[in-house]
Structure 1
Amino acid sequence: MSSIKITTNGSQEGALKIAFATTDMQNIDSHFGSATQFAVYDVSKDNITVCEILKVPEKDTDKTVELLKDIDIVYFTNIGAVAAAKIINSGIFPIKYKEIVPIDEELEKLKTMLGSNPPPFIKKIIEKKAA
Structure 2
Amino acid sequence: MSSIKITTNDSQEGSLKVAFATTDLENIDAHFGAAKQFAVYEISKTGTSLCEIKKVLEKDTDKAVALLEGIDIVYFTNVGAIAAAKLINSGIFTIKYKEIVSIEEEVKKLKEMLNSNPPPFIKKIIEKKAS
TM-score normalized by the length of structure 1: 0.92
Which amino acid counterpart does residue 58 of structure 1 have in structure 2? E
User: Which runs of 4 or more aligned residues in structure 1 lie more than 4 Å from their structure 2 counterparts after TM superposition?
Assistant: none
Unmatched 5+ residue regions in structure 1? Answer: 1-6
Which amino acid counterpart does residue 87 of structure 2 have in structure 1? I
Mapped partners of 1:16, 1:119: distance in 2:
13
Any conservation in 2 of the 1:78–1:97 contact (CA below 8 Å)? yes
Which amino acid counterpart does residue 57 of structure 1 have in structure 2? L
Q: After TM superposition, list the pairs within 5 Å mapping 1:33-52 onto structure 2.
A: 33-52=33-52
RMSD in angstroms over aligned alpha carbons?
1.2
Any conservation in 2 of the 1:9–1:49 contact (CA below 8 Å)? no
Mapped partners of 2:21, 2:10: distance in 1:
19
Mapped partners of 1:12, 1:44: distance in 2:
9
Mapped partners of 1:53, 1:10: distance in 2:
15
Matched residues, number: 125
Unmatched 5+ residue regions in structure 2? Answer: 1-5
Partner of 2:80 in structure 1? 80
Asked if 1:118 corresponds to 2:118, the answer is yes
Any conservation in 2 of the 1:12–1:49 contact (CA below 8 Å)? no
Per the TM alignment, residue 49 of structure 1 is displaced from its structure 2 partner at its CA by: 1.2
Any conservation in 2 of the 1:11–1:51 contact (CA below 8 Å)? no
Which amino acid counterpart does residue 28 of structure 1 have in structure 2? I
Per the TM alignment, residue 13 of structure 1 is displaced from its structure 2 partner at its CA by: 1.8
Secondary structure at the counterpart of residue 25 of structure 2: coil
Which amino acid counterpart does residue 101 of structure 1 have in structure 2? V
Partner of 1:13 in structure 2? 12
Partner of 2:107 in structure 1? 107
Mapped partners of 1:39, 1:116: distance in 2:
25
Mapped partners of 1:60, 1:8: distance in 2:
27
Q: Sequence identity, in percent? A: 70
TM-score normalized by the length of structure 2: 0.92
Partner of 1:95 in structure 2? 95
Mapped partners of 1:94, 1:10: distance in 2:
25
Mapped partners of 1:96, 1:11: distance in 2:
28
